Amino acid sequence: MQINYPRLLADLRRLATFGQAGSGVHRLSFTPEDREARHWLLQRMTEAGLDAQIDGIGNVYGQTKGVNKAVLIGSHTDSVPKGGWLDGALGVLYGLEVARARLEAGAQTDLGIDVISFADEEGTYRALAGSLSFCGHLSEADVEAAKNQQGKSLRKALNEAGYTGRPRATWDLSRDVAYLEGHIEQGPRLESEGKKIGVVTGIVGIRRVQVTCTGQADHAGTTPMHLRKDAGSALIKYCYDLMQRFDQVRSPDSVWNFGHVAFEPGAGNVVPSTARVLVEFRDPVEATLDRLQAEIQAAVATANGQRGVGVQATELIRISPAEMDANLAALIEAAARGRGAPTLRMPSGAGHDAMVLTRHVPTAMLFIPSIGGRSHDIAEDTDEADICLGIDVLADTVRALAERR
């Protein structure tokens, strides 16, 4: 099969015109621009000779005709607000180009390529909705409950898009032999270490905990310091203590973030009665997440009751780490070596549809470098040479899979 690089790059540029925002895209799920992009993709799949449809959740799914086994390649085409042009789009159009090149070459095996763009990966309504639906983890009640920030339900969005009533595509154990997702790294590691292909070992687990300090509101001028039950100061002290604790038990891959802080009543001349912080932390290993969470509790035990302030922690989100298939990862690594591309084995710090698929189908991901590590911003970009190297490695991985059968 012969990859047509100008055609791949032209498709990427064309897809970026739907919801174009400067050098990036603003293509939130089920908006007119997102739906137009889906329709365009459907046409491109059909032109390529795939049996393509948009299903009842908005997944664009193109299957190779006349085969019983297939490698599924894909990602997503929705974006975050004012996001980059390659996040998700790259993996979908990699799949389209590999499928197209393979059909043009008149593939000699019974192993076809199926291509998919999963709906709402970025979670305008429900993160990973398309891949969850594809794998049977999104009930009609979930569709009803999922809402965007304006309170509009996913159900209503699907109605408006005209997708309601269509069957939902699902994975097929007898057909799908592997899921492959190419993606930009969205971080700086490949670039800073001079590597070209990231071989993803797993996708990090995510936990989010809200820590709340409860004290008492008082006049900030007249209340002596030793009589204050200052929830704000208690929270700041807590966070500082927690950072030091996390540093003691972290792994090299651990990351954490105090993403949101709120003081109530929130005035310069009032001692805060309540203070809250969202602590989010990620790691590819569940045991490390357990260790980090234990430190949150230990820090609560230390802080609780000091200077009359109560401290408690509530878990809000718990997503387990997802391992990638080691055999497929080894094939990607070998393919990269064959192209002379320096590789880096690395976890993914961001969530991807692959984390859902890997529970059912052997799944692997490859990363290509992000310039300056920038992503989820219109500044996101990747060298064209790296985009082309990435699809070469992906296509070689598919070849190796076909030969192995």
Q: Which residues bind Zn ion (CB under 5 A)?
A: 87-88
361 and 179 Cβ atoms separated by less than 8 Å = yes
The two structure tokens encoding residue 315: 């878990």
260 and 269 Cβ atoms separated by less than 8 Å = no
Packing angle of the helix pair 384-404, 326-338 (nearest 10 deg)? 120
Closest CA to 168 of 131, 141, 142: 131
358 and 324 Cβ atoms separated by less than 8 Å = yes
The DSSP code for 204 is -
- Minimum separation from the CB atom of position 377 to Zn ion (A): 13
- Minimum separation from the CB atom of position 242 to Zn ion (A): 30
Closer to Zn ion by CB, 93 or 300: give it.
93
Q: By three-state DSSP, how is residue 54 classified?
A: strand
Closer to Zn ion by CB, 336 or 365: give it.
365
- Minimum separation from the CB atom of position 323 to Zn ion (A): 19
What is the Cα–Cα distance from 315 to 150, expressed in whole angstroms? Answer: 25
Closer to Zn ion by CB, 195 or 352: give it.
352
Closer to Zn ion by CB, 88 or 187: give it.
88
Closer to Zn ion by CB, 61 or 238: give it.
61
Q: Which residue is nearest to Zn ion (CB)?
A: 88
Which is it for the CA torsion 141, 73, 127, 249, positive or negative? positive
- Minimum separation from the CB atom of position 231 to Zn ion (A): 38
- Minimum separation from the CB atom of position 76 to Zn ion (A): 6
Amino acid occupying residue 90: L
- Minimum separation from the CB atom of position 258 to Zn ion (A): 24
Which is it for the CA torsion 19, 22, 23, 24, positive or negative? negative
Closer to Zn ion by CB, 85 or 281: give it.
85
